[in-house]
A and B are shown apart, each in its own frame.
Chain A
């Protein structure tokens, strides 16, 4: 290779690679595919330019070559994915995939994105999604979210008017906006699920309905946007949490912690589907927050008994999650997982370091987690103090009852 040629290619690479790569990523929505296309285009450039000389606009040449490669890869990827989908979705789900991707379904996807448009406030997004795509009436949604029906109705009318008058488009967002908009859709579905999943004294039948709706909508996303691993992660996360619904509440409404749940009451077909989805999602090698949370839930689900739980793997998953989601809750859970994997002192040190700047002082779960570790370490007096701090800070009646029970137990032990 001549020095001129090498210099030309180096210059193109330095000046243009960022722009070209960004374009490829936008078009393919895949860093991997974009990078692969870029590399291949450069190799092709070397070959062609050595024979025919350097083109007038080397950047444009590489862009065009890389785009051609990309189209090939995307085609290849699509074939592979549709093949996988058929392999993995045997059994009852099969019917969903056999349905033709009709214009009606395209419309449904457009509608999800319209309802969850970030120009609408989140309450409106949730309400519209449930009202237009879910099977709930305005009255039911109002009851589930504990707002007066007239308030909700007004909110929905206002949102629908805004969609019309500000002309919020009825479309699946263009590729360059898709990722951001999709995360807004995912957040809405997860909020709906969590509203149903949160143990409270509300209408329990309606709460189950909300979870079921959220799962149904997440399933639609998976079907309509095949190949998106975070959609799969979200559905898996919901399925795995929901599989414990009958085991996490005592008949008197008392909260039963994961550790103490009767695992025979978990819904194992849901667990199996959740685990399958997590594996399929993680196979895409683009881990996101929902996938990792689902993977953690899957590790819990796989344990025959609480003592069998693979806490080392859970701690490892939390450290990956902490790298993409810097929230105190994630750090707190990571510390608990480390403690539970046998490193009690190390876990407690991490929690204390987290609490050192006092940001978490008013967060009841911080005190509850700390109390729990102290109890396991046999430091009853310190544990009792932390349980009391947690109790002062929570407003959830069921959590309050759980903490009271712990405090009573520990006081009993101390007397003895």
Chain B
């Protein structure tokens, strides 16, 4: 895109044409007190490029990057090794510059890539159909809730207490505008999720039950039992997954009866990058629900000459077609992140994903065993994939802060995730991936031993 600066002469010509004596006359409708007079306080007017670079470098030193610490943060965003090939391929001009396809059939490469992506997500989730990605896991979660409302024509949503609190917050925020009734709960620090309590909250007005798998405490709920109970009341089961690598080791939510499976795809192909952009995954188990799905779907077909081609099969519920009646709040798919996911997934293959999952689990078990030996630390979970909760003698939030000083990012404290739930304050969520070394685990354990002594 070209940048065309305006000269003073251009400005004068435009003002003369519309009959305004000066620029202030154009903004006469803006109250005087709302206008900026002079420079913005605290922000310098300008500096040389070199000086700005130097300043920004100084600022960036305040960050503690994942690679520079013993790193155990997770809670919905995971540090994994992304092969260099992924970055190389997604930066090719054909991919990097191709934006959302509004004249889609021209962009055959983009459509084929989205088709492959959908196939991978559907398979990973054990579902019939996946869409061409969404904004992120939490908004995909809301879209699933909205979709369940359309399918069941009901407005009562039951959230598991062990759903990621940020996801629950997105659902609550959006529900203010759709007037869905949200029946939430708080998590309890128990070794197993409270399925019976969750099931008891499902009634014949419930549109859906939203369950995270593995859940926010790292536990792995029995989805089949919840699916059965939900279906018995005519409600849908929405399974939320924030760590897709886990599905290389545990059964897919679709296989266990979840009707809609959504989640965050960041783990595969997309780095942490201090918080985004991320990638929403969305799939439905039963093809009959495909018409109620948000977003766009790419399909495979043949052209008039019988050659294989790809088309945007379903996008009639999106903003550019349905305007104000679009059923999706966020229609733009995260194309480049979806591509990164797809390239990484292709490099892994099915066997590779299983091996990666096994390695994550092995290291997580090693970490859990080691941490359980630290006096003042107790392992909460009976079972987990690569993330688990430990209970610490003391406020986990303060301990995390303390350890940061020693370049140890110990985990995400439940006090940070659930402010206002003081009964959870001693919980610490520890995530381990293939990037975690035995040395990192030892560093964390000894640091904890020291601060808890």
Query: A and B: partners?
Result: no
